[in-house]
């Protein structure tokens, strides 16, 4: 049984179809990449899965349970967490307070919530920054706080929405390592939306591609890279050129 299954999902915003009969599943322990052009419907799909948006039609199953149109709080409670593309950390929360918002999902004790938050911050390489205002941190650290907050809910599936956007190459490398650890050491199943191809192609065991709301490809990164439809819709000539040149040198 897949840990997450999306069946024939449609999401309309008025006359705009943001997700067009999307179906895919995620196996327990998988690390799945979700790519596609701007406006393809990737974040919308996460929002539908996580209960932020009501779906127009279709179904979402988590660990075999129908979670379609459940409220976000209930979905997190069941063990499915997500980060938001635009991290709107409240300016008047510190790093530790932010992460405790996540840990309070599993405990009412302030002490237990703080301990869990500290454990996660340590894991994320953020210890020592507990008392800083999130709004005053550099973007890379803010993205880590967003991941830490989601992790503090102790998810079995984690949806990451562009956690590498705006980062420099060193920070991207660090993010790749952090996601590997979340996946491998914590044993969390991960689905990640990303435009940074280095990250998505390095990390993902499988990649799915959305274009104008429709799923156009589903396969191993090496196959996705060479898929003519994906190149045309998204990866473009930069990637096509790399494929050609690597083909020539082989």
Site for ligand ATP, rule CB under 6 A: 13, 16, 18, 36, 38-44, 85
Residue 117 or residue 193: which is nearer to Mg ion going by CB?
193
State the binding partner of 217 from Mg ion, ligand ATP, none, CB within 5 to 8 A by kind: none
Q: How far is the CB of 60 from ligand ATP (least distance, A)?
A: 16
Of residues 170, 161, 227, the one with CA closest to residue 200? 161
Task: Report, in Å, the least distance between residue 15 CB and ligand ATP.
Answer: 10
**Segment near Mg ion (CB under 5 A), from 2-10, 81-89, 101-109, 170-178?**
81-89
* Smallest distance from ligand ATP to CB 86, Å: 9
Q: Which residues contact 103 (CB under 8 A, 6 or more apart)?
A: 112, 113, 114, 116, 117, 120, 152, 153
For the bound state, the minimum distance from the C-beta of residue 39 to ligand ATP, rounded and expressed in Å, comes to 4
| Contact of residue 50 among Mg ion, ligand ATP, none (CB under 5-8 Å per partner type) | none
Alpha-carbon span 138 to 82, nearest angstrom: 21
Task: Compute how many other C-beta atoms are within 10 angstroms of the C-beta atom of residue 175.
Answer: 22
Least Cβ distance, residue 13 to ligand ATP (angstroms):
3
Q: Is 44 in the site for Mg ion (CB under 5 A)?
A: no
Q: If you search the block for the tokens 């999401």, which residue do you land on?
A: 11
Q: Which does 39 bind (CB under 5 to 8 A by kind): Mg ion, ligand ATP, none?
A: ligand ATP
Quick one: which of 31, 36, 43, 213 contacts Mg ion (CB under 5 A)? 43
| Interaction partner, residue 38 (Mg ion, ligand ATP, none; CB < 5-8 Å by kind) | ligand ATP
d(CA 221, CA 209): 11
Rounded (10°) CA dihedral 98, 168, 216, 235 = 170
Burial 210-231 (b: 16+ CB within 10 A, else e): bbebbbbbbeebeebbebeebb
Binding of Mg ion by 85 (CB under 5 A): yes
> What are the DSSP E strand ranges found in 27-129?
31-35, 57-62, 65-66, 80-82
| Tokens (6 digits) for 80 | 């499915």
Query: Measured between alpha carbons, how far is 152 from 157 in angstroms, rounded to an integer?
Result: 12
Q: Does 19 bind Mg ion (CB under 5 A)?
A: no
Taking the least distance from each CB to Mg ion, the nearer of 45 and 152 is 45
For Mg ion, give the closer residue by CB, 47 or 94.
47
Q: Which does 156 bind (CB under 5 to 8 A by kind): Mg ion, ligand ATP, none?
A: none
CA distance 150 to 114: 15
Query: What tokens does 171 get?
Result: 């920070």
Closest approach, Cβ 1 to ligand ATP, in A, equals: 27
Minimum gap (Å) between residue 44 Cβ and ligand ATP? 3
């Amino acid at each position: 049984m897949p840990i997450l299954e999306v069946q024939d999902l449609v999401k309309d915003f008025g006359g705009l179809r943001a997700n067009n009969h999307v179906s895919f599943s995620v196996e327990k322990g998988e690390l799945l990449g979700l790519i596609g052009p701007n406006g393809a419907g990737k974040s919308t799909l996460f929002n539908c899965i996580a209960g932020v948006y009501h779906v127009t039609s279709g179904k979402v199953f988590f660990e075999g349970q129908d979670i379609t149109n459940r409220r976000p709080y209930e979905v997190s409670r069941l063990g499915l967490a997500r980060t938001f593309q635009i991290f709107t950390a409240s300016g008047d929360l510190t790093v530790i307070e932010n992460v405790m918002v996540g840990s309070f999902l599993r405990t009412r004790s302030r002490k237990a919530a703080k301990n869990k938050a500290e454990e996660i911050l340590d894991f994320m390489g953020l210890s020592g920054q507990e008392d800083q205002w999130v709004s005053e941190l550099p973007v890379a650290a803010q993205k880590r706080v967003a991941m830490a907050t989601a992790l503090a809910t102790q998810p079995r599936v984690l949806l990451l929405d562009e956690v590498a956007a705006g980062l420099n190459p060193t920070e991207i490398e660090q993010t790749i390592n952090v996601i590997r650890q979340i996946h491998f050491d914590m044993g969390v199943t991960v689905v990640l939306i990303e435009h940074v191809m280095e990250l998505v192609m390095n990390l993902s065991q499988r990649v799915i591609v959305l274009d104008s709301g429709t799923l156009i490809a589903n396969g191993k990164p090496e196959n996705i890279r060479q898929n003519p439809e994906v190149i045309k819709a998204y990866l473009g000539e930069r990637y096509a050129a790399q494929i050609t040149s690597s083909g020539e040198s082989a």
